[in-house]
Structure 1
C-alpha cells in the first residue's frame, strides 16, 4: 500500500507487524498511552489502542456533597482547564436552582472563558504542537521535507515576516525560535486577562452559581482590553503563518491528508451564553442553546444533524466495552424522564453508576480506565470526536449560520472573523472554510483560527459589559436557594472540546454527579460493540511518511495525530519498541478494527 492509496484497503497475504508503544503521552500526569502495530513493509499503522492508566473517581466522592461546592471541587479535575469545569458546573447548578445570573455577570464569565481559550490554545499550539513541525524535529524525521521547506517561499511572508517555510520551522524551535519565545510572552498576557475576570487561574475564585463576585468597573475592562488588543495584533501574524506551514505539508507530502483522517463525526456542545436569551431553564434549552456564540451541533459525514441541546443531551450514552468497570444495568435509575417528559436512558450520565474494577491491562480485552461515551442517533452509537475542540466548534457554527455579531459571521459554509485596527496593523478579515477532511492538519489549523475567533468574541463581550457598567447595572450575582430535589445539566466547550456536567440533588445533597470532559470522548477504547475510539480510529490505518527506518523510527505522524486532538498537554513522551517483536498476520490489519 502506498501513502496515497485508500487507508482502509485490505492487504493480501502474510504481513510482518512490529509492536510499538508511546507511553506515557501526558499532560501533567502520565496517564495516556498509545499502543500500535506497525507494518513497515507497507508503511501503515495496522492497529492502535488508546489506554489510560489513571482512575480519578470524582463521580464517586461527589456523592453527598453540598451542591454549592460542586464547581470548586470539579475545577480540580484538571490543572489546565479547571475553569471550564467550574463554569460548566455553575451552568448545571443554575439550572438545578432555577437562578438566572445578571447580564453583567454572564458577560464577565464569557470574557474569562474567551481568555482561557486564547491562553490554552496559544501555549498548546505554539509551544507544544509547534515543536512537531519545527526545524529540529523535521530534520530528524523528514530531512527531505526540510530541504524543500528551505527552498519554498512563504505565500504570506508579507503578513508574518518569514520569507520561507524553513524560516517558519526555525522560528518554532523550542527555546531558541523567535516565534516560540514570542508565544510564551503572549500566553502571560492571556492568563492575566483571565485573572482580571475570574480572580485566579486556573481555579476561579470569583465564579459562583448565580453569577460572579468580580467587581466590575471601567478600569477592569480597560485593563482587559489593553491586553486583548495586543493579542489581536499577534493573531494577525499567527493565522497566515500557520496557513502557510500547514498548506506546505500537503504540498511536500502527497497523500498527507490521510494522516489522522477519520470519518467526519464531530460534536460541539456550544459555548459563550447570550444573557439576553439564556435563562438556564431546561424547558427553554433548545432556544437559548441556539443563541450561544459558538453553536452547539453534531456533524455527521459533513452534515449538521442537530443544533438542539435537548436532543444532544438525551442522545448521550456511556458504554463500557474495553474499560475497567462493572456495568450498572441492575442499579438504581436516578432520572426516568427529563423536565419535558422525555424518557432518559439508563446509560445516560444522569443514571450512570461508577463501579471500578481494577485489573491487569489486556489489550485484547480490558485496557483503559476511560469509558466510551457515544451519541445515539436512533440507530447507531456514534463515536463522536471533538476535532481537538476548534474543528468541531467552527464546523458546527459555520453550518448552522446562526452567529452574526459584526466581529464574527457564520455563513453556512465558513466563519468570517473580523479583527479591528491595532497599533501596528490595519483591520483584517480571516475566513475559516469547512475543509474536506477531519484530519491532523485541519484539527491544528482550526485551533489557530479559533484563537482569532475567541479574540473577536471577547471584543464583543467587553463592549456589552461596558454598556451595562455605564448604565449603572453593575450587579453581577443573583441569590438562590438549593432545592431539596432537583436535576441540572451544564453544557459548554472546554478548550479541547465538549464538556457536560450532570447533577442529581436529593435531600439537598448531591445524589449523582457525572462530568464528561472532551478527553473521554476522544481517548476512549473500543466500546461494547467493538467500535474504536477516535484516537484509535484516527491513528489506525494512517500511512507512514517518516523517512527513518524501523530502528530509528520516532513515530512523528502518530504523535502529530494524537496531539492534534489536544489530549491535555503532552509534557512527556516516551517511546518503547517491543524488542522488534514480529507478529504474523494472515488477513487485513484493519478488518477487525470495528471502524465506525
Structure 2
C-alpha cells in the first residue's frame, strides 16, 4: 500500500457509451469506500460543428444518428425545435402517433436495459461471485410477491436473471422484440424513424394500425404485472441483506426532467406559451433540489442551462460574439447557454489534475449556484417531477403530489392492478441512490404502458371522428431561434437551433449523457457519475486482488449509460498509488 493507503482502479472502457466511457477511481479498501472518482470520455463527436450551414429540415435525420439506440428521441426533439422555428402545429392525430412511438421506445429500451443488462448485476452468477453470503441468505428468503411473479425465493429471482439461461432474462428478450414492433408501427423504422417530420408524421392512420399496436401493448401490460413486484422484491432484499446499502451511489437530490409526451390540445410549440403547454405534458418537466420542486416552467428551465468547461478538451468561447442575446420573450440569454455555444475541440493529453474528458459540463443555474443536475437514469427524475407537480391525471395515470398512481387494466390471465411509485426516502430524507434509480426504471415501464393506453384511445377517437390528417405544411423562415425539450430514455434531452438566411447557424443537442457523465467543471464541481461513485461504500466481499467493483458498476449503470456492451477491467487487480510527474497519455479516438 502507498502512504495514503489508496489503490487506483479503473474500468476503461465501460463500453455502453460507444466504448468511450471510463471510470477511474481511488479506493480505500481499509475503510471500504471509494475515495475519488473521475468520469472520462475518449470520443469527440462534433455534431454541433457539422450541423452548421445545413438545411434545418434535415436536422432530425442527421441528429437521429447521434445514437444507435435512442435515435428516435433525438429525431423527436429535433422536430419539436423545428416546429417552434417554423411556427407549425401538427394535427392532434400526428401528435398522438408520435407519443405512441415514444412510449413504445421507453418500453423497449427500459425493458432491454433493466432486464437484460442491469438485471445481470443482481443475478445469481454475479452475486455468488461478489457476495456469496448474500446469495446464501437469498436461498433462505421467501419472496413476498411470489404469487405475482412465480418465484418462491429471492434466489430463484436471481437465477431467473442469469444471462441467456434465466427464464426471466429470456422472456424479457421476447418482450423487447414486441415493443420494437410497436414502435415501428408508429414511426416506420427503429431506431432512425422514417415517418417523423416537422409538422407531424407520414404514418397512415387506420383502426387496424392502432389495433395491431394495442394487441402488443396488452401483452406488455400483462408482463408488467410480473415485473414490478419481482423487482420490488429483489431491491427490497438488497437493502435487507446489506444494511447501509442505501448509501451506495447516493448523491444529493439534484434532478432535472425536461418533460415528455405533449398534449396536442394545448401544445402549439410557440415559445411564448411554452411554460403553459410544457406543464400539460404527460411527463411533467421540473427541477428537483433536495426533494423540493424548484420549477416546472420550461422557460425557466431553458434559461437556466449553462454549458461549462473546466476539465474538458475544448477552447472556451466566453469572449465570442453571441448568437442570441434575448429569448423570444425578451429575457436575457447567457453567453454559456446552448444557443451561444461554440464547439472548438482542443485534443490533449489526459490529466486528472486538469483536462481529462471530451464531455462538457452542463449545469443548471438557479441564480446563485451552477447545479450538477442528474437525470436519475431518466425515470427517477421523471417520476419525481411528475409526482410533485400533481398535474397528470388521465384515468390510467394520476400524480398525487407525493406519488404517481399507475392503473393497468385487466389482461388475459391477470386482474387489473394499480401500482404506486412513491418518492423514495430514508430516515425521513429524500433518497437518490443506485437502487432507487433502478426501481424507478421498473415503475416507469408501467407508466409508459399506461400512458400508451391513453394515447391509443385518443388516436382511435380522432380516426373514428374522421380527423385523419397527420401532417401540417410549413415554410422555413429566414431567421429563427428555437428549442425542443423532451426526455430521451435515459433523461433530459434538449435541442437548440439558430437559423440565419434559411440555414442552420448554430445547433446544439444536449442528451442526458453529458449531464450524467460530465467531468469536473470550472468551479471544481464533479459530475453526477463522479459524485455518485465518490465516497460510496464498498459491500463486495472480494479482496483487492480479485475485486470486481460491482457496487461501482451498479452505480454507474443505474444512470443507464448510453450503449449496451461489456465492462472491462483496465488495470487488473489495481495498483498502489505512487506520485508521478508524467501525465497519462490520452488514448482516445473516433
TM-score by length of 1: 0.95
* 1:16 to partner: Cα distance: 0.2
Structure 2 spans left out of the alignment, 5+ residues: 426-430, 580-590
Q: Name the CA distance, whole Å, in 1 between partners of 2:81 and 2:407.
A: 33
Candidates 533, 536, 542, aligned match of 2:530: 536
- The structure-2 alpha-carbon separation of the partners of 1:579 and 1:111, relative to structure 1 and needing over 3 Å to count, comes to closer
Matches within 5 A, 1:413-432: 413-432=402-421
Q: Name the CA distance, whole Å, in 1 between partners of 2:558 and 2:265.
A: 35
Alignment correspondent of 2:557: 563
Determine if contact 1:25/1:570 at 8 Å carries over to the other structure.
Answer: no
* 1:329 to partner: Cα distance: 1.2
Q: Name the CA distance, whole Å, in 2 between partners of 1:530 and 1:486.
A: 35
Deviations 1:398-443 (A, max 9, x none): 0000001100000000000000000111100000000011000000
Secondary structure of 2:493's aligned partner: strand
Alignment correspondent of 1:593: none
Matches within 5 A, 1:121-520: 121-436=110-425, 437-520=431-514
Q: Name the CA distance, whole Å, in 2 between partners of 1:96 and 1:224.
A: 32
Deviations 1:375-413 (A, max 9, x none): 000000000000000000000000000001100000000
Q: Name the CA distance, whole Å, in 2 between partners of 1:240 and 1:376.
A: 38
Q: Name the CA distance, whole Å, in 2 between partners of 1:490 and 1:54.
A: 25
Secondary structure of 1:292's aligned partner: coil
Determine if contact 1:60/1:354 at 8 Å carries over to the other structure.
Answer: yes
- The structure-2 alpha-carbon separation of the partners of 1:199 and 1:579, relative to structure 1 and needing over 3 Å to count, comes to closer
Candidates 32, 40, 51, aligned match of 1:51: 40
Secondary structure of 2:450's aligned partner: helix
Determine if contact 2:547/2:573 at 8 Å carries over to the other structure.
Answer: no
Alignment correspondent of 2:25: 36
* 1:195 to partner: Cα distance: 0.1
Determine if contact 1:116/1:495 at 8 Å carries over to the other structure.
Answer: yes
Q: Name the CA distance, whole Å, in 2 between partners of 1:553 and 1:258.
A: 20
Secondary structure of 2:19's aligned partner: strand
Secondary structure of 1:29's aligned partner: coil
Secondary structure of 2:6's aligned partner: strand
Q: Name the CA distance, whole Å, in 2 between partners of 1:569 and 1:561.
A: 16
Determine if contact 1:15/1:584 at 8 Å carries over to the other structure.
Answer: no
Superposed CA RMSD in Å reads 1.1
Structure 1 spans left out of the alignment, 5+ residues: 1-12, 586-596
Alignment correspondent of 2:585: none
Secondary structure of 1:119's aligned partner: helix
Q: Name the CA distance, whole Å, in 2 between partners of 1:40 and 1:268.
A: 36
Secondary structure of 1:16's aligned partner: coil
Secondary structure of 1:417's aligned partner: strand
* 1:577 to partner: Cα distance: 2.7
Determine if contact 1:563/1:570 at 8 Å carries over to the other structure.
Answer: no
Determine if contact 1:16/1:584 at 8 Å carries over to the other structure.
Answer: no
Secondary structure of 1:225's aligned partner: helix
Q: Name the CA distance, whole Å, in 1 between partners of 2:106 and 2:421.
A: 17
Q: Name the CA distance, whole Å, in 2 between partners of 1:540 and 1:208.
A: 43
Secondary structure of 2:375's aligned partner: coil
Determine if contact 1:26/1:572 at 8 Å carries over to the other structure.
Answer: yes
TM-score by length of 2: 0.96
Secondary structure of 2:377's aligned partner: coil
Alignment correspondent of 2:570: 576
Q: How many pairs align?
A: 573
Q: Name the CA distance, whole Å, in 2 between partners of 1:388 and 1:433.
A: 17
- 1:523 counterpart = 2:517: yes
Q: Name the CA distance, whole Å, in 2 between partners of 1:319 and 1:580.
A: 32
Secondary structure of 1:294's aligned partner: coil
Secondary structure of 1:395's aligned partner: helix
Determine if contact 2:13/2:570 at 8 Å carries over to the other structure.
Answer: no
Secondary structure of 1:30's aligned partner: coil
Alignment correspondent of 1:546: 540
Determine if contact 1:383/1:533 at 8 Å carries over to the other structure.
Answer: yes
* 1:583 to partner: Cα distance: 3.2
Determine if contact 1:417/1:452 at 8 Å carries over to the other structure.
Answer: yes
Alignment correspondent of 1:70: 59
Q: Name the CA distance, whole Å, in 1 between partners of 2:105 and 2:406.
A: 19
